[in-house]
């Protein structure tokens, strides 16, 4: 299974994004309203320029609570975004998330954002694989296959 398969299976296909100039309060409201954990940050030309997650907001809130709400997305976003491509397999995405300690991986099709994969999407995919394997093993053990 590759990242394109996971994106195709996702119910929510829309990728919610923010502009670098958006203030933090609005970014947080967008995250909460859409029940997501991250916003991709795109400039006016729709180029991916960063990612901001609920963790970024939480970390900065603890550092400087008072000034936090005056900040913009571009002040606290991560600028060096690590991305996957649709042909990457699930193991590659898992490795990228584990090694780099993040839970969101944008998937780029050339210069276009094809989607975003969260650690939850990967867990769901692995769970699906385990269910199928379990079913085949059970059928095999209980003699449902012709010998």
- Tokens 């991305």, located at residue: 83
Among 51, 93, 117, 122, binds ligand AMP (CB under 6 A): 51
- The least distance separating ligand AMP from the CB of residue 129, rounded to whole angstroms, comes to 23
90 token code pair:
């699930």
What sign does the CA torsion over 8, 10, 14, 17 have?
negative
By CB neighbour count within 10 A (0-12 exposed, 13-18 middle, 19+ buried), where does 15 fall?
A: middle
Stretch that binds ligand AMP, among 17-25, 48-56, 61-69, 134-142 (CB under 6 A): 48-56
- Nearest CA-CA partner of 27 in 67, 66, 60, 69: 69
- The least distance separating ligand AMP from the CB of residue 59, rounded to whole angstroms, comes to 7
Among 15, 48, 61, 82, binds ligand AMP (CB under 6 A): 82
32 token code pair:
């909460």
Residues in the chain: 147
Closest to ligand AMP by CB, 119 or 134: 119
Closest to ligand AMP by CB, 76 or 146: 76
Residue 103 is a binding residue for ligand AMP (CB under 6 A): yes
Q: Which residues bind ligand AMP (CB under 6 A)?
A: 37-38, 51, 53, 55-56, 78, 81-82, 102-106
């Amino acid at each position: 299974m590759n990242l394109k398969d996971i994106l195709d299976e996702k119910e929510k296909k829309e990728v919610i994004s923010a502009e670098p100039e958006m203030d933090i309060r609005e970014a947080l409201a967008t995250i909460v309203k859409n029940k997501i954990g991250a916003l991709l940050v795109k400039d006016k030309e729709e180029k991916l320029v960063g990612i901001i997650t609920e963790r970024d907001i939480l970390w900065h809130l603890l550092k400087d609570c008072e000034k936090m709400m005056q900040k913009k997305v571009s002040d606290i976003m991560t600028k060096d975004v690590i991305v996957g491509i649709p042909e990457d397999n699930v193991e590659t995405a898992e490795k990228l998330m584990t090694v780099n300690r993040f839970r969101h991986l944008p998937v780029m099709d050339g210069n276009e954002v094809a989607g975003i994969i969260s650690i939850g999407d990967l867990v769901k995919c692995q769970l699906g694989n385990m269910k199928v394997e379990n079913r085949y093993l059970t059928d095999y053990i209980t003699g449902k296959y012709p010998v």
